[in-house]
Homo-oligomer: A and B are copies of this chain.
Amino acid sequence: MATKNIESMIKALSALDCTDMYQNDFLLTWDKKADEIGATFVVAELLRALREKGISSRVFDSGLGISIFRDQSTRTRFSYASACNLLGLAVQDFDEGKSQVAHGETVRETANMISFMADVIGIRDDMYIGKGNAYMREVSQAVAEGYRDGVLEQRPTLVNLQCDIDHPTQSMADMLHLINQFGGVENLKGKKIAMSWAYSPSYGKPLSVPQGVVGLMTRFGMDVTLAHPEGYEIMPEVEEVAKANAKVGGGSFTRTNSMQDAFEGAHIVYPKSWASFSAMEKRTDLYGADDFDGIDALEKELLAQNAEHKDWTCTEDLMKTTDQGKALYMHCLPADITGVSCAEGEVEASVFDRYRVPQYKEASFKPYVIAAMIFLAKMQHPAETLEQMAENGMPRVFG
């Protein structure tokens, strides 16, 4: 895949079994087979290669990509809009508000009402543990029923744009970045990646990024180390996924409470703040009970707990302990940079600056990853279609 040769990528795609992706959703990376993950990467690379050659990837003459963002978002919104536009879909935002009240009847009805001409529905719902992914599955079931009952003339595909459990468009973009940086997925075998908690002045960032990373990166034979202070555990079921994946993929999954241990000899480091799973569970329960005093008290407690770990930060000194002192620094952005965006944060400014361009490149894969997810769900013969597109060579811009 390191070669950007279009023909060879199409050939590689033909060899992969992605039949089950057709008319299906993309909700969790660990629901997808190795071939399906691989196909997503190849299609993303192919769409990027076509775009860079000025060839149109517009497979939809018309059609809608619905977006449901239950949380403010710029990056993901633009990545989704870009992916939809690349394929020819117009974006229509559905603004449901930030409440967590929509359930059952309302979800079923609304899902149908917004889907009469929807090809894709992208959802971001990462605010409450136990809610986001469940909501996506409710919507998915509703539109599947709507299609079965003849209400909808097609079954719209769901793409998880971040939930409480996984952030597949992020982790897949991260992984594609690694594949490109290391010159091929085969070169990642045995490489050590440190997914580490880091201090940030805010205490409640989603767990979906670290969970997505350990759930996905363990599949490629890497040595994945998850580091965090006590009390910042991720969801136990995702740890189980990581362990099982590591076994199958021939790598390892290790947990440590020391950032130093994680960075020691690492080839890749991903220092990032997140909330503790148990705290987020408590918060969800308090919201459910409308206990706003309880929430206030919890938030104060979490901030105090947080402040005890300001030493979890990605310094130049720490970076020196990584493999040849040159580990690849990663972040999903925006980062909390010490002395820039906050007094004390996740990373020292000089480290962040040195890796600015690679980070931007990391982010640049997201629109193509989302487009690939849509493409594989909507095209029955993805390799043939891409071959046709490459052959036709229809220019994206006239003139």
Chain A residues packing against B (C-beta within 8 Å) = 48, 51-52, 56-64, 74-75, 78-79, 81-82, 85-88, 90-92, 94, 105-106, 109-110, 112-114, 116-117, 119, 146, 149-153, 333-334, 337, 340-341, 357, 360-361, 363-364, 366-367, 378-382, 384-385, 388-389, 394-399
Chain B residues with Cβ below 8 Å from A360 are 109, 112-113, 146, 149, 151
Chain B residues with Cβ below 8 Å from A60 are 396-398
Tell me, in angstroms, the Cα distance from A64 to B109 when the chains sit together. Answer: 29
Tell me, in angstroms, the Cα distance from A381 to B384 when the chains sit together. Answer: 34
Chain B residues with Cβ below 8 Å from A52 are 153
In the complex with contacts A82-B116, A117-B85, A341-B61 CB distance below 8 A:
no
In the complex with contacts A52-B153, A92-B91, A334-B109, A61-B116 CB distance below 8 A:
no
Shortest distance from the beta carbon of A297 to any chain B beta carbon, whole Å: 31
> Which one of A341, A361, A399 has the greatest number of beta carbons of chain B within 10 Å?
A399
A-B contact pairs, 25 of them (CB 8 A): A51-B117, A57-B62, A59-B398, A60-B397, A61-B396, A61-B398, A62-B87, A62-B88, A64-B82, A74-B94, A74-B110, A74-B114, A75-B113, A78-B94, A81-B90, A85-B92, A105-B340, A106-B341, A109-B333, A109-B334, A112-B363, A150-B357, A151-B357, A151-B364, A388-B398
Tell me, in angstroms, the Cα distance from A86 to B62 when the chains sit together. Answer: 6
| B48 and A153 within 8 A (CB) | yes
| B92 and A64 within 8 A (CB) | no
Contact among B56, B333, B378, B384 for A113, CB-based, below 8 A: B333
Tell me, in angstroms, the Cα distance from A333 to B110 when the chains sit together. Answer: 10
Chain B residues with Cβ below 8 Å from A151 are 357, 360-361, 364
| A381 and B397 within 8 A (CB) | no
Q: A56-B61, A61-B397, A78-B92 are in contact. List 15 more A-B contacts (CB 8 A).
A: A51-B153, A63-B85, A74-B94, A74-B110, A75-B113, A85-B92, A86-B117, A109-B334, A112-B363, A112-B364, A116-B363, A117-B367, A384-B399, A385-B398, A388-B399
| B59 and A399 within 8 A (CB) | yes
Shortest distance from the beta carbon of A108 to any chain B beta carbon, whole Å: 8
